[in-house]
Each structure stands twice: as structure tokens, then as C-alpha cells.
């Protein structure tokens, strides 16, 4: 048999077995048999690199590293949901929409689905190939995480996965990527053992695993997927209802929850919702509730949306689960601004399927008001997003000999006396040289929403501060290779990557930089308003309180916080050091939207291009108004082909599609711009 044929056969077989294993949880061959097929494919592909397609199961291991995420416009707004917290609110939701329907219309049927607590993903397929996957973002635009999603085994790279259905010309599907609870706990244990950061809950872990530039990281994380909505469909069957849509998704090979139910009787639906609270405790994924949707699409359409929540659906939310455990010790953590935050070290306990061993105690008043003591049995609550919190002691279970707790008189990090400003709840360490504060400031500075320095987290912050390599956040930009190489666990490649990430962060721009500096009350939104107004941090530094208060959204308190910060000598020094290191502190002039020379043209990219990665080429084409799809068809205007172009080139030639190289693509953009 020729290699091409065998490769295709192996790809199809492996795809099927991946589907059996990861989507149906019902494998039909042993791991050994699977491995043998996989190795055979790997060897054949190694011998015939031109026959490796991006959809091959061997390409799910990641390894591609990108410089940044590009933005993707969703075909329609990704709506969110209203909530109901009890049966009465659920009935009120139904009463609200029934009033809007014609009296003669019978009550619609409903579909009830688990509300999976993961990361929303929007998946695009063209002619059966997975071409684009994006996060939800702000609902209008998300981030392109296609290469990351390719590593998620439950996500079909080609549909239909097995015979039966026909591939639609185009389908956009919404789903939720998540990490199973057991996998999350294993993963966290491994992270802790390796001295790496641990995560608060499966949701954050899933989100963190998908939003990384190094796709090998995503590939190493045990992520799964459920799909629940057809956003767009072209060249497929007429779908009249959600229930049909779910069936269709399943038929194409998408993972669809088998907890989905259809109801015609609303009372039965309510009973199901109430009783499902116990079921969710037993699941291996986190669900914070159920989603109730009107089944038929005609009624959905008639009802429409209020704001960004459809009237035809709502979420039935369960209260956060609680448990009782022993509070072993109260520790005090020092925050970024010097606040002293008491926290509980707990005897590990399972709450809603997740093991919890730390919880917040908020502040000293909170502890005093509830008389929470070391050694107490306490009620702990865990709500999906937030840090678990101690609600209070169970007094009947209080052991003998416990003592009321008091805030220590000295900072646990630097030993300086603590202070409590008049009228404030918080105690502070006011020593601006306190190392714990600096660690927190650095941690915030490098974090994802701020300067986003990959490979730099709390561990590195702690280490570098302890070693005296960092005295303020600006010192990050003065770290040298020869300072880091001698450190344990800092091999050359790791140091190079870290320094490159630090270098790259210099271009994040003043909005992110200002938010990263962590002025009281100045998050990314305020920061944007300030930078939009002043254009640079030096102009902002010169602003007076009165100036600042003129800006919409900036009140007297914020204005004072900004002026105070820039007035302080150490902060001015930080700013100067940042500028001297080449960190960008000025906004770029906004360029008017350019002409769109590729408007109306559809491209397919194949092979290795000389100067751009395929992602970059795609972004380039889209930035100039063109469309990029995954496979060559009669609708393709140009195939952009690089080295080792394979079957797509053959197909393009057969269909008479114009084949161009990267240089020609660039010419297309510039010549059309001239003309
Ligand atoms: S439907 C208009 N169905 O819950 C339809 N959402 O705000 C809106 N979610 O983050 C979404 N499971 O991604 C729907 N079975 C399900 C869901 C679900 C989880 C998420 C969704 C969004 C949030 C709703």
C-alpha cells in the first residue's frame, strides 16, 4: 500500500479511537494497540513530512509557540444568562416570557443542560475542518486560541468523526472547555511537588491552560470539552430546536453532555432542577447549576434578548457548597499595599468535589466578630470563582483550651510594628521596604492582566526578592543572564526564555504598565481612561488633582491616589528606571482604520512560509479584510503556499485556484492599496 493511503487510514483510525476514548469514554481497543497505531503513523509521517496534515492526530501534541494572541470577531454576540436561585425565581422567569407569547400558543418544551464551569470556546469548522477556535472574550471579540484547542483530544479536528452525517459547509459551535475534578487534583499535586504554582479551582486551571502561548503546555493538561450550542450553520440540515441541535452535534462527533434532558411539563422540570443539586456533587466536573432553554428556535427568536441575556434561557444556580473542618492555624499574609490579611490553614476537606486546605478570613474584625479561633471546627464555603472562606466556628464542637485570636503586633515578614489607620478595617505594615510587599507588587506587575511576563510568577518573585536581585518592580528590566544562570532550576534555555519574555513585555504599552504598577484603585479600566486622556505616564505624572477630576469616571479619591503615588520619590525613581530600560510609557498614535485590500477574498494557507507563521499569515490576511478558511474549495480565491505544501496544493491546482507565495500575498496587499 502506498504511504499516503496508509497515513490517511491510520489518521482516520486514530481519530476514531480518540473519539471513542475522549468523547464517548468508551474505548474499543487497548492502550497498547492504540500506541502501536500511533507509532506507525509517527514513523510514516517522519519518512514523508510532506504528508503530515495539521489535522493529523500526531499534531495534537502542541509545541508551537506564538508571540501573542490575535483578536477574533465572533459571528454573533456570545450572550450570557440571567439567573434563578430557587424554584420561585425559576417560575417567575417562565411567567415573564409566557406573557410575551401569544395566548393561543401552547407552552413550549424545554431543554435542561448542566451549566459547566469552564472556559467558553467558540469553534469554527469549514468543510468539516476545524479552522478557528476562540475564547468568549467580551462576547463580541475573543482571542484566537486555535493551536491550543487543537491539543484538546475531545475536540474533533475533522467532522463528522465517523461516517453517517455529512460535513456542513460551515458550522460554528459554542462549548465549554473544562478540567475534570480528579485530573485537576492530580495536576495540582504534581505542580506542588515540582515547586510550581497551584491553582484555586478546575475552572481557573482550564482557562490558564488554554490561554498560554506555548501549546505544549496546553497539550500536557488534561482538558475536556462539552458542546451545547450551534451558533451558525451553513449547508447542513434545518435545525428547528435545541434538542435537534444537540443531536446533530453528537452525530458530528462533538462531545455533548449526557445529562441533557427535555421537558414538556414545567413542574417536572422544576423538580429535576431541585433534585439535581445532589447529582452534581457526584460528578467529575464542576457545574454551578443548570441551564434551562426553550427548545424550539422559532420561540427563541420571537422572545429575543434583554441586554446580553436571552429571554428564552436562564441559569438555575445552586448555592455554593459548604463543609465543616478543623482550622489548624491562622496565618497572616502581607498584601501588595501592606495590608495584613488573616488566612486559615485547614485540615483538608472535600467541598463540592474539590479538596480545600486554605481559606480566607478577610480581616481582623471578621475573625473577632465571629470569634474564630485556632483549633476550632469551622464552616467553610467554596464558591466557584472566589477563594474559599471561613463562615464561622461550630461552637458546640469547640475543643477546650482555645484562645481568642489577635492580629500580631509586628509584620510577620519584616518584623516592623503594624499599624491600623483611624477608621480603617485593615491593619498595615507601613514599611515600604517590607520584602513581602515587594513580592506581591512584583507578582502583580508580571501577572497576565498586567505586563504578562510568561514564566514569571510568585515563585520567581519570592526568589529574586530574597536574593536581593529586585528592590523594586523596575529592577525586573535589569535582571542579567549571569545573575540567573547560577540559580537552581534555571537552565540556560529557561533563563533565555524568561529574559525574552521580560524584553517582550516592554512593548505592552502605558495602559497595561500603569495597571501593573498597582496604584490604589487603578485597575485596567481606570488606567485606560487615564492613558487615553494623557497619552503618556510622564504627562499623567504632572497632572493635578483638579485636572484628574475632570476625567469622566475619576472621582476625588482616585485623583488623590494617583497624585500621591506620582509625588513619592521612590515611585518617580521607578518610573525613570522603567523609561531608561526602554519600557514603553507613551501611547502609540492611533492610526485610522486602513483600507481593506483583501475584502471579499478567501484564502487558504498551506506549507511553511518563509517569513510568517501560518497564524501570522492568517492574522495578516484578516487584518487586511480577507477571510481564511481551512480547506480548498470552489470558493477559494487564493492558496498561499509555502514549502512542503501537500494535498491542498494538489487540490487547488485541480480546481484551478490561484496559487501564490508569501511575497505575492504582500504584493496583493500593497498593490491593491496603491490602486
Ligand atoms: S447557553 C444564550 N449552555 O455559562 C446562551 N451556557 O452565562 C448562553 N455555560 O459562560 C449560553 N454550560 O459559556 C449555555 N449548557 C450551557 C452552558 C453554558 C456552561 C456557560 C456559558 C457562559 C455561562 C452563561
**Residue among 83, 115, 312 to mutate when testing ligand 1 (max atoms within 8 A of CB):** 115
Q: How far is the CA of 237 from the centre of ligand 1 (A)?
A: 24
The boundaries of every CATH 3.30.470.30 domain in the chain are 82-317
Q: Report the DSSP pairing between strands 340-351 and 322-334.
A: antiparallel
Q: Please tell me the pTM assigned to this model.
A: 0.64
**112-126, 537-551, 638-652: which is most confident:** 112-126
Q: How far apart are the CA of 242 and the centre of ligand 1, in A?
A: 13
- The residues near 537 (Cβ < 8 Å, ≥ 6 apart) are 510, 513, 514, 531, 575, 585, 586
CATH H-level, domain 322-419: superfamily = Nucleic acid-binding proteins (2.40.50.140)
Give the CATH fold of the 602-674 domain.
Answer: Rossmann fold (3.40.50)
- Average pLDDT rounded to a whole number, residues 497-516: 94
pLDDT of 255 higher than 90? yes
CA 425 to mean position of chain CA atoms: 33
pLDDT band (50, 70, 90) for residue 590: low
Question: For the segment 264-273, what is each residue's pLDDT rounded down to a tens digit?
Answer: 999 999 999 9
- Report which ligand 1 atom has the smallest distance to the Cα of 80: 7
Question: Which of 1.10.287.610, 3.40.640.10, 3.30.1310.10, 1.10.10.410 is the CATH number of 3-59?
Answer: 1.10.287.610
Alpha helices in 71-149 (DSSP H): 87-98, 146-149
**Residue 320: per-residue pLDDT:** 83
Residue nearest to atom 12 of ligand 1 (CA): 115
313 ligand 1 Cβ < 6 A: yes
Segments of the chain assigned to CATH 2.40.50.140: 322-419
From the CA of 115, how far away is ligand 1's center (Å)? 6
Instruction: Indicate whether residue 428 lines ligand 1 (CB < 6 A).
Output: no
Q: Is the CB of residue 53 less than 8 Å from the CB of residue 606?
A: no
| pLDDT confidence of residue 591 | 45
| Probe target for ligand 1 pocket from 81, 117, 202, with the most ligand atoms within 8 Å of CB | 81
Look at residue 673 in the predicted model and tell me its pLDDT: 45
* Ligand 1 pocket residue status of 288, Cβ below 6 Å: no
Answer with the residue of higher pLDDT: 458 or 226. 226
The pLDDT tens digits for 138-166 are: 888 999 999 999 999 999 999 998 877 78
SS (H, E, C) 503-542: HHHCCCCHHHHHHHHCCCCCCHHHHHHHHHHHCEHHHHHC
For the CA of 309, the nearest atom of ligand 1: 2
Looking at residue 671, what is its pLDDT?
A: 64
**Ligand 1: nearest atom to the Cα of 312:** 2
Q: How confident is the model at residue 675 (pLDDT cuts 50, 70, 90)?
A: very low
The closest-lying atom of ligand 1 relative to the alpha carbon of residue 120 is 13
**Residue 384 pLDDT:** 64
Distance 248 CA to ligand 1 centre (A): 18
CA distance 289 to 352: 12
Assess whether the C-beta atom of 81 lies below 6 angstroms from ligand 1.
yes
Q: Whose CA is nearest to atom 6 of ligand 1?
A: 115
Residue 189 reports pLDDT greater than 90:
no
- CATH 1.10.150.20 range(s) for the chain read 435-505, 510-580
Best mutation site among 119, 120, 256, 301 for ligand 1 pocket (most ligand atoms within 8 Å of CB):
120
Percent of the chain with pLDDT over 90: 65
Output the pLDDT for position 625. Answer: 82
Residue 315 alpha carbon to ligand 1 centre in Å? 8
Write out pLDDT tens, residues 430-454: 887 899 999 999 999 998 879 999 8
State the pLDDT at residue 227. 98
113 Cβ inside 6 Å of ligand 1: yes
Which of 229, 68, 54, 73 shows the shortest CA–CA distance to 151? 54
Residue ranges, comma separated, of all CATH 1.10.287.610 domains in the chain are 3-59
Residue with CA closest to ligand 1 atom 11: 80
What's the mean pLDDT in 389-403? 94
Q: What is the CATH number of domain 82-317?
A: 3.30.470.30
Q: How far is the CA of 586 from the centre of ligand 1 (A)?
A: 39
Helix (H) or strand (E) holding 263: strand 261-263
The yes-or-no verdict on residue 240 having pLDDT over 80 is yes
Task: Please report the pLDDT score of residue 592 as a whole number.
Answer: 45
The mean of the pLDDT values for the chain is 90
123-130 mean pLDDT: 95
Least confident of 48-57, 279-288, 604-613, 664-673: 664-673
Dist CA 53 CA 74 (whole Å):
26
Residue 203 Cβ inside 6 Å of ligand 1? The answer reads no
What residue's CA is closest to ligand 1, atom 9? 115
- Which residue's CA is the nearest one to ligand 1's atom 16? 115
- Annotated catalytic residues are 115
Q: Is 291 in the pocket of ligand 1 (CB under 6 A)?
A: yes
- pLDDT tens digits for 366-379? 999 999 999 999 99
Chain-centre distance for alpha carbon 525: 19
Pairing of strands 287-294, 428-429: unpaired
Return the C-alpha cell found at 344. 486559615
Residue 102: pLDDT band with limits 50, 70, 90: very high
Which atom of ligand 1 is least distant from the CA of 315?
Answer: 24
Give the dihedral sign, CA 319/399/328/408: positive
Position 593 pLDDT exceeds 60: no
Average of per-residue pLDDT across 576-590: 89
The ligand 1 atom nearest the CA atom of 260:
15
- Is any ligand 1 atom within 6 A of the Cβ of residue 227? no
pLDDT at 655: 87
Q: Which of 137, 176, 232 to mutate to test the pocket of ligand 1 (most atoms within 8 A of CB)?
A: 176
Of ligand 1's listed atoms, the one at least distance from the Cα of 305 is 2
* Confidence bin at 252 (pLDDT 50/70/90): very high
**Radius of gyration (C-alpha) of the chain in whole angstroms:** 28
Class of domain 510-580: mainly alpha
CATH architecture type of domain 435-505:
Orthogonal Bundle (1.10)
Q: For 59-100, what is each residue's pLDDT tens digit?
A: 887 777 777 788 899 999 999 999 999 999 999 999 999 999
Would the CB of 228 count as within 6 Å of ligand 1? yes
Please check the confidence at residue 667 and state whether its pLDDT lies above 90.
Answer: no
**Of residues 537, 540, 541, 538, the one with CA closest to residue 566:** 541
Residue 176 Cβ contacting ligand 1 at under 6 Å: yes
Within a 13 Å sphere around the CA of 387, how many CA atoms are in the beta-carbon half? 11
Amino acid at each position: 500500500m502506498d504511504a499516503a493511503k496508509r497515513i490517511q487510514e491510520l489518521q482516520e483510525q486514530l481519530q476514531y479511537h480518540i473519539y471513542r476514548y475522549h468523547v464517548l469514554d468508551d474505548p474499543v481497543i487497548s492502550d497498547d494497540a492504540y500506541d502501536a497505531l500511533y507509532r506507525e503513523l509517527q514513523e510514516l509521517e517522519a519518512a514523508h513530512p510532506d504528508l503530515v496534515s495539521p489535522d493529523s492526530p500526531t499534531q495534537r501534541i502542541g509545541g508551537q509557540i506564538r508571540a501573542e494572541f490575535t483578536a477574533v470577531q465572533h459571528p454573533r454576540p456570545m450572550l450570557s444568562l440571567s439567573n434563578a436561585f430557587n424554584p420561585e425565581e425559576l417560575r417567575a422567569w417562565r411567567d415573564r416570557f409566557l406573557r410575551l407569547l401569544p395566548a393561543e400558543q401552547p407552552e413550549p418544551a424545554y431543554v435542561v443542560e448542566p451549566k459547566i464551569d469552564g472556559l467558553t470556546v467558540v469553534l469554527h469548522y469549514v468543510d468539516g475542518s476545524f479552522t478557528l477556535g476562540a475564547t468568549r472574550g467580551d462576547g463580541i471579540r475573543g482571542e484566537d486560541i486555535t493551536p491550543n484547542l487543537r491539543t484538546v483530544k475531545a475536540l474533533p479536528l475533522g467532522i463528522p468523526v465517523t461516517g453517517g452525517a455529512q460535513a456542513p459547509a460551515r458550522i460554528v459551535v459554542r462549548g465549554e472547555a473544562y478540567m475534570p475534578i480528579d485530573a485537576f487534583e492530580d495536576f495540582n499535586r504534581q505542580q506542588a511537588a515540582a515547586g510550581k504554582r497551584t491553582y484555586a479551582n478546575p475552572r481557573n486551571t482550564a482557562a490558564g491552560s488554554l490561554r498560554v502561548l506555548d501549546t505544549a503546555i496546553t497539550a500536557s493538561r488534561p482538558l475536556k470539552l462539552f458542546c451545547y450550542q450551534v451558533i451558525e450553520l451553513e449547508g447542513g440540515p434545518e435545525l428547528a430546536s435545541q434538542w435537534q441541535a444537540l443531536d446533530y452535534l453528537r452525530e458530528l462527533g462533538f462531545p455533548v453532555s449526557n445529562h441533557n434532558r427535555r421537558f414538556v411539563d414545567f413542574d417536572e422540570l422544576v423538580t429535576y432542577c431541585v433534585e439535581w443539586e445532589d447529582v452534581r456533587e457526584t460528578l467529575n466536573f464542576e457545574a454551578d447549576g443548570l441551564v434551562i432553554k426553550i427548545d424550539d428556535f422559532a420561540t427563541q427568536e420571537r422572545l429575543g434578548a434583554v441586554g446580553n441575556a436571552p429571554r428564552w434561557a436562564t441559569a438555575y444556580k445552586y448555592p455554593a457548597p459548604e463543609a465543616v473542618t478543623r482550622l489548624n492555624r491562622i496565618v497572616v499574609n502581607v498584601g501588595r499595599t501592606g495590608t495584613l490579611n488573616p488566612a486559615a490553614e485547614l485540615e483538608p476537606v472535600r467541598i463540592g468535589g474539590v479538596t480545600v486546605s486554605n481559606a480566607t478570613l478577610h480581616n481582623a474584625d471578621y475573625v473577632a466578630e465571629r470569634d474564630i479561633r485556632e483549633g476550632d471546627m469551622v464552616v467553610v464555603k467554596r464558591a466557584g470563582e472566589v477563594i474559599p472562606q471561613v463562615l464561622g466556628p461550630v461552637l458546640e464542637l469547640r475543643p477546650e483550651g482555645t484562645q481568642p485570636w489577635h492580629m500580631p503586633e509586628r509584620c510577620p515578614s519584616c518584623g516592623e510594628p503594624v499599624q491600623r489607620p483611624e477608621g480603617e478595617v485593615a491593619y498595615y505594615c507601613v514599611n515600604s521596604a517590607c520584602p513581602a510587599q515587594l513580592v506581591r507588587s512584583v507578582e502583580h506587575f508580571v501577572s497576565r492582566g498586567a505586563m504578562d511576563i510568561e514564566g514569571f510568577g510568585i515563585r520567581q518573585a519570592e526568589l529574586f526578592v530574597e536574593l536581593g536581585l529586585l528592590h523594586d518592580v523596575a529592577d525586573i528590566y535589569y535582571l542579567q543572564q549571569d545573575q540567573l544562570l547560577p540559580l537552581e532550576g534555571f537552565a540556560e534555555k529557561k533563563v533565555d526564555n524568561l529574559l525574552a519574555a521580560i524584553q517582550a513585555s516592554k512593548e505592552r504599552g502605558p495602559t497595561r504598565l500603569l495597571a501593573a504598577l498597582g496604584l490604589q484603585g487603578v485597575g485596567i479600566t481606570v488606567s485606560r481612561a487615564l492613558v487615553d486622556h494623557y497619552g503618556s505616564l510622564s504627562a499623567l505624572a504632572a497632572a493635578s488633582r483638579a485636572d484628574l477630576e475632570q476625567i469622566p469616571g475619576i472621582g476625588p479619591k482616585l485623583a488623590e491616589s494617583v497624585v500621591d503615588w506620582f509625588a513619592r520619590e521612590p515611585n518617580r525613581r521607578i518610573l525613570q528606571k522603567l523609561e531608561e530600560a526602554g519600557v514603553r510609557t507613551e501611547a502609540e498614535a492611533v492610526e485610522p482604520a486602513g483600507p481593506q485590500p483583501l475584502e471579499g477574498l478567501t484564502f487558504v494557507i498551506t506549507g511553511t512560509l518563509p517569513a510568517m507563521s501560518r497564524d501570522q499569515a492568517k492574522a495578516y490576511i484578516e487584518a487586511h479584510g480577507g477571510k481564511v478558511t481551512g480547506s480548498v474549495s470552489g470558493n477559494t480565491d487564493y492558496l498561499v503556499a509555502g514549502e512542503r505544501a501537500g494535498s491542498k496544493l494538489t487540490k487547488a491546482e485541480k480546481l484551478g485556484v490561484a496559487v501564490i507565495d508569501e511575497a505575492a500575498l504582500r504584493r496583493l496587499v500593497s498593490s491593491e492599496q496603491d490602486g
